[in-house]
Each structure stands twice: as structure tokens, then as C-alpha cells.
Amino acid sequence: MGINYLYPEYEVVRNMDRCINCRVCERQCANEVHSFDEERKIMCSDDALCVNCHRCVSLCPTRALKIVKTDHTFKENANWSGRAITEIYKQAESGGVLLSSMGNPNNYPVYFDKILINASQVTNPSIDPLREPMETKVFLGSKPKKIERDKDGKLINNLSAGVELAMPIMFSAMSYGSISYNAHESLARAAQEAGILYNTGEGGLHKDFYQYGSNTIVQVASGRFGVHKDYLEAGAAIEIKMGQGAKPGIGGHLPGAKIVGDISKTRMVPEGSDAISPAPHHDIYSIEDLRQLVYSLKEATDYKKPVIVKIAAVHNVAAIASGIARSGADIIAIDGFRGGTGAAPTRIRDNVGIPIELALASVDQRLRDEGIRDNVSIVIGGSIRNSGDIVKAIALGADAVYIGTAALIALGCHLCRSCHLGKCNWGIATQRPELVKRLNPNVGYQRLVNLVRAWNHEIKEMMGGMGINSIESLKGNRLMLRGLGLNEKELQILGIKHGGE
């Protein structure tokens, strides 16, 4: 037997005075961490298998369990961290690419946490959202350059196809296959109840969810999985996925082990075969090619659906967005490097892309400078954690935001970042029937509705405090923001002043 260089990252601490040997932890753990020692009549744990998902901790009836990070350490070295050493051990053992889930976890600046919001005092009185009208409804799509009237003076409807949201929030793209049927149902029902949209991701749309079409964004990715005429016509909008924040510049891969049953049918991929999305769309190598696909999708749906183009936040994102705004797209979606994913190469996730705050500000300013800001709406995602982030994003220039990780946390996700293993103990990122059933859609969708409605209320409270009564008045209003601890270049890109100015 070879030497195992890896020490468990987490340790299961069991209070034996509280443990009653009920074996709930054993039954609930898909990673097989817990077991019962028949000879000693006690519960045991294999720490090496623990991913810190907290399922056992949450369900233990006597609170006998807790998970702690191991204090085992390597000799201190400012250059060679314990993580760097451990990853080399793993690759030397396997010869494979390191995979990770969710977004970039590294200690890069979170600019939302370095931006503060203004408040009204005397000359511009605040507004009480409980007693005065407050508009958080949002319309996404291209805006007309001017108002036109016919010979009788009546308004001519020259609006392009668009979508209406009851609040500036949407559920971001998560495919059926990467997440479970019950998770998708929860998102779809919540979107319908809250008057917003959810995104199918690149895995097609299950036949059961066509009933939620008016609250659905259908995605067209490079693999074209599950894309057909009925699918395109089912949604309220169509999104072309060009990039993803967690893995810019590369494609997707859903292992054959997850291509089973309805997932195979929905994606139109043979059961058991890997679903691999190539890095580029093989029919798009220029803005002109993108324009052709945009108009092909519009033509296929009789120009009744707005087309979104989703890109990752990368260094030249403003120039890319400028081209997309001229391609005929109605909405640009920008995904920051903290955006979640079911699986991504660790090196790509941790080293490629830029923070969404900088990308958003630079794109909004570029489009304004070129006089084409009204050609498109801007939707951003990539670790929107609360309503404060949303208000700051809109003030930086966004029309609305995508939330993905926050939505999964509302469903019970504990961010153990092991989605790619397919053993999600909370029934979210798994296709194993015994695990999927742990997520009750009746409970899940209500938790999602509670979350977005609570955030919407908080958005109104913050807008009222600023003396603003509509999202439209907040959009791009960077005078309402001040930075703290930022250098001159960061303030310049964000388009805001420092606190105290």
C-alpha cells in the first residue's frame, strides 16, 4: 500500500455524552463518513470522506456533532502554502486536472464591501416605502431612441421584444443535470410566484416545466443541448451563453454518470454518454457571426422574444459588450469570477476573470460614452449575496441581477463546494433519487419566494433612504455611492468618489 500524503481537511467532532447511537448521521451521509461499530457499540467517523456539508450536524437530534477545520499543518512557508502542497500531492497521485465547484473562493477584493450608499437628510427628503409609491418593477430589453406618433398624434408602439420583472432579480442559469429535478421545480415555481424569471441553463427544459414558460429564460450554449423550436418558443427570453464567470474561455462537461433518464431525453444526448460543450460556438468567430445567430433566434420565434448574450467578466469586457450591443442583442448578461458552477478546472476558476463590480462599471460607462446604452439592458451576476449588493450594482449601471449561489443557499446548500461529485446531501446538485427527494419543492419554492420578497422590501427601504422612488432613477446613479479604502484607479473605473468627498 502506497503512502497517503493527504491529511483530512475536516474533522468530525462527536460528543459521546450526547450521542444516542440513533444512526441518523449514517443514514443521511451520502459520502459514507459515519458508521456504527457493532463491537464497541459506538458511532465512528472517517474524516477523510467529509466534505463539510453539515447534513449530519443539522439533523442530529441531540446536537452531538460539529465539523471543524483540521489544525494539522505544514511547516510555515510564505510561498508554499498547505493548499499548494496538497494540490500537488493530488495531481501527482491522479495525473488529472483538479476540479472544483462554485465560484472563486480566494481572497481577492470584494468591491461591494468597499462601497457605501448615500442617504437623504434635509434638502432631499427621504421616502417612506410603506406610505408612498415605490417602483421596483423592471423592463428589460432595447429602448427606443425616440417617441414616435402617427398622423393623429397617437403613440406608435416601436418597442422591441422585452420582459417585465416585478423586481430587479432573476435566478441565474443552472442546468437540469447539474442540479436536480426538484431544484429546477423550486426555481420555476418561485419565479412564477414572485413575477420574475429563472434560467434553464444549457441542459434544455424538462417537459413538466413548459407550463412555467412565461417565467423562463431558455439558454442556447455551444453544445446546443436540448435546443429545438418548441424549446425556443417556450421561454419568455432566449440567452446565448458565450462565457461563464467561473470558467471563462472554456466549455462545459456533464459526466455520463449524470446523463440518465429524463436528463438524457431533455438534453437529447444518449444515456450514459458525456455531455461536452466546446469552448467556442463553432459558428461564432466574430461579432458578425454572433449577430447572425441573434437574428436567427429572433426569426425562429417571430421576433417575440428578447435575446440575451451572456459573457464572462474578463479584461476587455467593455469592448466585447460594445460589439454585443451592436449585434442586435437586447440584453447583455455579465458573469463575474465569483459566479458559481457545478464543476470547473480549479486553475481556471481561481485565476481567470475579473470582479463583477469593475466589469459592470466599465461596460456601463463604455456604452454611455458611445451613445448606445439604451440599445441593451445589462444584467450582472457573480456572487450577489444580499439586497445591498443589488442596490450598489444598479447604481453602478445594472438593470437587474442574476442570483444563483444565493438561491441554492436558500434551498439548503451549505457551500461545501463538492457539487461535481454528484453526492449532494441536500438534494440539490445530485441525480441520485434517494438524495433528490430530500429537497421538497413545496418547501423549496416558498423559501426562494421569501428570499426575493425580503430583498425587494429591503431595496425599497434603501431607495427610500436615498430619496429615490424608482429603480430607473437609481440605475447608473453613481453619485449615490462612495468608496472606502480604494485607490485612485479603482475609483476611476468604478466611477465613484471616495468617502468624505
Domains detected in the chain: 10-96 (3.30.70.20), 165-456 (3.20.20.70)
Question: Rounded to a whole number, what is the largest CA-CA distance in the chain?
Answer: 93
**Model confidence over 229-271: pLDDT tens digits?**
999 999 999 999 999 998 998 888 777 777 888 888 888 888 8
* CB 370, CB 277: distance < 8 Å: no
Q: Which of 156-165, 316-325, 375-384 has the lowest mean pLDDT?
A: 156-165
Per-residue pLDDT at 226: 87
Is the separation of the CB atoms in 333 and 381 below 8 Å? yes
Cell numbers describing residue 418: 463538492
Secondary structure (DSSP) of 62-127: T--EEEEE----PPP-SSS-HHHHHHHHHHHHH-S--EE-SS--S----GGGGEEE----SSS---
Note the pLDDT tens digit of each residue in 381-392.
998 999 999 999
Cell numbers found for residue 162:
422585452
From CA 125, how far away is CA 128, in angstroms rounded? 10
Q: Grade residue 404 by pLDDT with cuts at 50, 70 and 90.
A: very high
Q: Is 159's pLDDT higher than 70?
A: yes
Angle between helices 287-300 and 317-325 (to 10 degrees): 40
Instruction: Give me the pLDDT at residue 151, please.
Output: 84
Pairing between strand 331-335 and 275-277? Answer: unpaired
Kind of pairing between the strands at 377-381 and 400-403: parallel
Q: What per-residue confidence (pLDDT) applies to 260? A: 82
pLDDT (0 to 100) of residue 451:
98
Q: What pLDDT does 4 receive?
A: 86
Alpha helices (H) along 220-376: 229-234, 261-267, 287-300, 317-325, 346-351, 356-369
Q: How does residue 1 score in pLDDT terms, banded at 50, 70 and 90? A: low
Question: Per mean pLDDT, which range of 31-40, 69-78, 229-238, 260-269 is the poorest?
Answer: 260-269
* Average pLDDT of every residue of the chain: 93
In this prediction, residues 291-316 reach a mean pLDDT of 95
- 208: which 3 cell numbers? 413538466
- Please tell me whether the overall predicted TM-score, pTM, comes out greater than 0.85 for this model: yes
Distance separating alpha carbons of residues 389 and 130, to the nearest angstrom: 22
CA separation for the pair 204, 324 (Å, rounded): 24
* pLDDT over 90 at 275, yes or no: no
**What was the pLDDT predicted at 2?**
74
Helix (H/G/I), strand (E/B), else coil: 339? coil
Q: How confident is the model over 302-312, as pLDDT tens digits? A: 999 999 999 99
Residue 136 pLDDT grade (very low, low, confident, very high; cuts 50, 70, 90):
very high
Whether pLDDT at 492 is above 60: yes
Per-residue model confidence (pLDDT) at position 380: 97
**Cα separations (Å) of 320 from 286, 317, 395?**
10, 5, 22
Query: CB of 372 within 8 A of CB of 322?
Result: yes
Give residue 123's pLDDT: 80
Determine contact, residues 190/198, Cβ cutoff 8 Å: yes
- In this structure, the number of other CB atoms found within 10 A of the CB of residue 370 comes to 13
Give me the half-sphere count of Cα atoms (radius 13 Å) on the Cβ side of residue 24.
15
